[in-house]
A and B are shown apart, each in its own frame.
Chain A
């Protein structure tokens, strides 16, 4: 398994290089002139050109890319065009809140999703199933920004239970994580349900019952254990999306995370920040995929690695 993991990590390098090229090109296609934005409204053409030279934006794009990558290798992400702070410092304050938010969303989405999925499956076509699936369908079909606004309206404005936004202790995480996790929870619920229904048909489930096992052992030890293999894959991929996909939720809740930082940076054409943020999202996504793959092989004894 270690060999496999090591090989997969090495394989990440070319993928990240391709992604860095694509994001670099993509960013320079965004209309708008960062030198103009940095120099300010009243700047003369000369001022703007000076700023452009200072920022290195007058060099050929290939040279800019090579310089950027060179710096990246030494852990240097450049400085923000808008704040003048090192990008890495900006990430330091923004990354952890986003990560915590993602973990919390994922945690409850997985727990509730699994529970709904299992109960729906074992009560197929009865009311707990209908209830569970209605919940799941709502969770996936309500847009994140709207759900966020609804929750703010109800719990923050009307009931005053949670802050309407910002980041001030644990309570600031609750509504954003509910909003962020709703879609994943639905997906996990539906996936668990169908996976459980399939597993419950398997011959080995009948063997378990023929042994005289209690129904909960049959469901948990035998059926859920098998269903988890495929659920982990789906949930893991969603987790990867969440890491970069909290943009909308962070905006609705004015949550000071990576998603908000990205949106603000795009507005100001803050190239170094956008470039590094996108690369970080890509890296997280690939890393999560790797973890999912390794976990999959751990859960599924049929896949033997390194042989």
Chain B
């Protein structure tokens, strides 16, 4: 078994609002191995982006703070590092691409400059070599006229091209971990497929582990080895991608999968989950999903469910699996 590139355990992150601390992540656990693609799914507001920002510790200009837990990256706890130590890891061993290719690049700097910035700093290459490296990176993400593009500005490129540039930038120092927060959500379907294909290719070539945040279960099925389902700042289920789609365990996961329209489906209304994600200020006492759960029991409203290991690759936080014998429900 290969070692873990990233292991997040018991991660809690808060924001300050009106001088009170509001906990958004309330104990997040998962891990990623070398060369693995882990999908992070969940409704809007469940804390997916915040999980990624916590790993990168990109809290600048916000009141965000990790209050508990640890993030082991290549065996070292990032939560114990200083900002300058983390900065040496960011963009080098751990890189990130964002949802909005239109605004994620600096509009007044040339593409080449933006690529070379990280290369010069982390790889300590002289200018000419780093330019050569930047051109190589652009070629590796399928940009043919790389020599010209380094002299262009972001607004001269299409959304798909910009996302390729973002990927080239992220992969420039061959990171061990690539975090992609909804990298294709803002793109056309055809471009989306190309970008995902590219990420897969780069992962294979570099053995990069990828944390892929998405709300698109189709993308998960296509790309991921493993899936983590988040709800209200917690991981409710973790499973191998085939297991998850074949037999979802957590009622929330079941709802998510049922809400995906299938070809040939004649139903007028999708089976979506009723209700809304509870706001961080008034979280229900027991299971956070209880108000929306169709299998809710009395204990669910009293106590938070424990995380149950269903198999070596599977975990689920739900009272349904805690009380009874696992085999019966599998």
The residues of A with any CB-CB pair to B shorter than 8 Å are: 200-214, 217, 221-222, 225-226, 229, 299-302
Contacts and interface: CB of A to CB of B under 8 A. Distances in A.
Interface string B163-184: 0001001000000000000000
A7 to B, nearest CB: 24
Contact of A203 (B104, B108, B118, B122): B104
B109 A221 contact: yes
Max chain B C-beta neighbours (<10 A), residue from A202, A204, A300: A204
A212 B90 contact: yes
Contact of A210 (B58, B103, B109, B122): B58
Interface of B: 56, 58, 60-61, 87-92, 95-96, 98, 100, 103-109, 117-118, 121-122, 153, 155, 166, 169
Nearest to B90: A212
Contacts of B169: 207, 211
B109 A209 contact: no
A213 B106 contact: no
A225 to B, nearest CB: 6
A209 B60 CA distance: 9
A222 B106 contact: yes
21 contacts: A200-B61, A202-B103, A203-B100, A204-B106, A204-B107, A207-B98, A207-B169, A210-B95, A211-B121, A212-B89, A212-B91, A213-B91, A214-B121, A221-B109, A225-B106, A226-B108, A229-B108, A299-B108, A301-B107, A301-B153, A302-B153
B153 A204 contact: no
The list of the 10 closest CB pairs from A to B, nearest first, reads A212-B91, A212-B90, A211-B91, A203-B103, A211-B118, A301-B153, A204-B106, A210-B96, A203-B104, A207-B104
A198 B96 CA distance: 22
B152 to A, nearest CB: 9
B92 A204 contact: no
Contacts of B61: 200-201
A201 B122 CA distance: 25
B104 A213 contact: no
Given A209-B90, A221-B117, 15 more contacts: A202-B103, A203-B98, A203-B100, A205-B60, A207-B166, A208-B106, A210-B56, A212-B87, A212-B90, A213-B91, A213-B117, A214-B87, A221-B109, A225-B109, A299-B108
